[in-house]
Amino acid sequence: MTSQPQPSSNDIAVKICGIATPADFDACRNAGAAFIGMVFFPRSPRHLSIEAAASLAAHAETSAEGPARVALTVDMDDAGLDQIVAAARPHFIQLHGSETPDRASAIRDRFGLPLIRAIRVAAAADLEACKDWEGIADWLLFDAKGDPGGLPGGTGHAFDWSLLADYAGTTQWMLAGGLSVDNVHRAMTVTGARALDVSSGVESAPGKKDATRIQAFVQQARLG
């Protein structure tokens, strides 16, 4: 499977993570999101069953155009990934756990899919890991570092965006963590981000996406 066309360097790319229903997908497509995230992590309120993922993929494939599907996984073994790729037919695999670059390379070789690697940030030193992912990850996703043992993402927590002000890595990247329509302009101004990942910031309740908030977020992101 090959990836869908990616946004040009002049576009603002928005990823709506943690969608659960065909209606969520339609809201993301209608708003102009570039990516949607399908979460496969049982402790998350956004976790999808294999059956739900297959239904979402089938619905998405009825559209001639639409957001690229991203399968978010956390330290998953090959058997689990086989199931997810077969059901969700993703365009990207997102690694949001403790996967090593060697493990990521093996996943990429096994499935032939581009990778998004989450880098959890609390201090400048956390960005040092980025160099280990050059040539392996197609995207880096900078997210807030949560509490040990907590959820790996989608918590609504932000990190100090000024840590990215002078970031000069070679891999394209997305900003995540606590984004909403109220702060996305400031986040983009501080970091220079051209790609954004939002989850809880476009929800009416944990795991419940809100079409109006999705539309508003994408519009605000495009305004910069």
| CATH classification at residue 26 | 3.20.20.70
The answer to whether residue 56 is domain-embedded is yes
The list of the chain residues with pLDDT below 50 reads 1-3, 5, 8-9, 148
The answer to whether residue 4 is domain-embedded is no
Q: What is the pLDDT of residue 11?
A: 86
The answer to whether residue 124 is domain-embedded is yes
pTM of the prediction?
0.91
Q: What is the pLDDT of residue 183?
A: 96
Q: Report how many helices (DSSP H) and strands (DSSP E) the chain contains, helices first.
A: 6, 10
Q: Write the CA distances from 69 to 9, 16, 36, 100, 204, integer angstroms.
A: 20, 10, 5, 23, 22
Give the chain's domain count. Answer: 1
The answer to whether residue 35 is domain-embedded is yes
The answer to whether residue 33 is domain-embedded is yes
Q: What is the pLDDT of residue 64?
A: 75
Q: What is the pLDDT of residue 8?
A: 45
Q: Which domain holds residue 31?
A: 13-223
Q: What is the pLDDT of residue 177?
A: 93
Q: What is the pLDDT of residue 23?
A: 97
Q: What is the rounded distance in angstroms from the CA atom of residue 12 to the CA atom of residue 21? A: 24
The answer to whether residue 132 is domain-embedded is yes
The answer to whether residue 1 is domain-embedded is no
